[in-house]
Amino acid sequence: MRFTRRVRPEVEVNLTPLIDVVFLLLIFFMVSTTFTKESRLYIDLPESSGDPARALANQIEVSITRSGDFAINEVALLNNDIETIKTGIQKVSGGDNTIPMIITADGATPHQAVITAMDAAGQLGFVHLSITTKNALPDER
């Protein structure tokens, strides 16, 4: 006895709806993405050399202690708020943002305190910025 074979239809996957969904997702992500230009503070890092740096007569030195307290030209600030730092820098500089600024931090200073000082300098438009560090002495620990 011979049976006739059924003809099975060929299975076909329609990719058109998948492509439509991919394009919709692409358009959604392109429209919902925000493009922001972050403000950057460009710093010329010092190179090591045997000669000590010359101290300029007209410069601003922002000192940061191990606990994150700020001082501008060896005058301690009341608090560590960025507005207080900006006000102190403005008073010392007299509004002249071409004066060189040095940020001196202890070796154990929190990184956020240094970033706060750099941010204050950047917001005030200072372009001549140097960063120094002081290693913590063994008896200070």
Domain containing 82 equals 60-135
26 has a pLDDT exceeding 60: yes
**Strands across the sheet containing 75-76:** 75-76, 70-72, 60-64, 101-106, 129-134
The backbone torsions φ and ψ at residue 22, rounded to the nearest 5 degrees and listed phi first, read -65, -45
Q: What is the pLDDT of residues 51-105, one digit of tens each?
A: 555 555 688 989 888 888 899 988 889 888 999 999 999 999 888 888 899 998 8
**Does some domain include residue 120?**
yes
Cα–Cα distances (Å) from 44 to 94, 102, 112, 116, in that order, read 24, 12, 20, 18
Mean pLDDT within 27-47: 66
The length of the chain, given as a count of residues = 141
What pTM was estimated for this model as a whole? Answer: 0.55
How many whole angstroms separate alpha carbon 110 and alpha carbon 116? 10
CATH number assigned to the domain comprising residue 91: 3.30.420.270
Instruction: Look at the chain and report how many structural domains it folds into.
Output: 1
